[in-house]
Structure 1
Amino acid sequence: MDPFVRRLVERLHDPSKPLSRNRHFHTFDTPEGRMALKVFRRLRSLQHDILACQAEGRRARISRQVGPQGEYRIELLMERVSGRRVSTLQAAEFELLARLPGVREALEILDIAA
């Protein structure tokens, strides 16, 4: 992941130093800015679903796929919608996801987090 994109995603998730998308319109009007918003929304959505699964008494399954970039595969079984969500994350995205409030505990990933 591009360091600039990573920093933008971190700032978007940080409640103590919020990064206004309106005030920094030109930053988010670049390809890197659009990528950061896409990653931010995806991770926020995954966080929401992981915490919802935990509230239902379910755990997310995590596996590390063997690939050129060592991707992580997260599978969520969601009873409330009778569905399943499978996401594949790059190592950097997984690291950012693990930093979000409640996610590390919900996934029990202390031993495999990068």
Structure 2
Amino acid sequence: MSDDKPGCSFGCPVEAALAVIGGKWKGIILYHLKNDTRRFNELKRLIPAITQRMLTKQLRELEADQVIHRKIFQEIPPKVEYSLTNFGLTLTPILKTLQEWGIEYIEKITKIRNKA
């Protein structure tokens, strides 16, 4: 059985998945949401290298793709929480596999990158 679909380049399912979760920050954001609901500033503290603008952009894209849910509380000051949707929860095994792969190969990756 082939993964090729008419009108789709080779690897289309992978391309589709990466279009939703790819990029420098989305995987890290999803990792921090996999077990917990988080507020914006909490995510910002957990990912200190991301700018506020980029975090906002990535959260909006994940929300538009229905991977995360944004819950707004009508209070002062405004409170917003982010969590995985049921669709987003389907990514949990993928995130776990990526984490396990990273644990196994982090030293090798670090050595390779330090040589460059």
TM-score > 0.5, shorter chain as reference: no
Indicate the structure (1 or 2) with the bigger Cα radius of gyration: 2
* TM-score, normalising length: structure 1: 0.31
* TM-score, normalising length: structure 2: 0.31
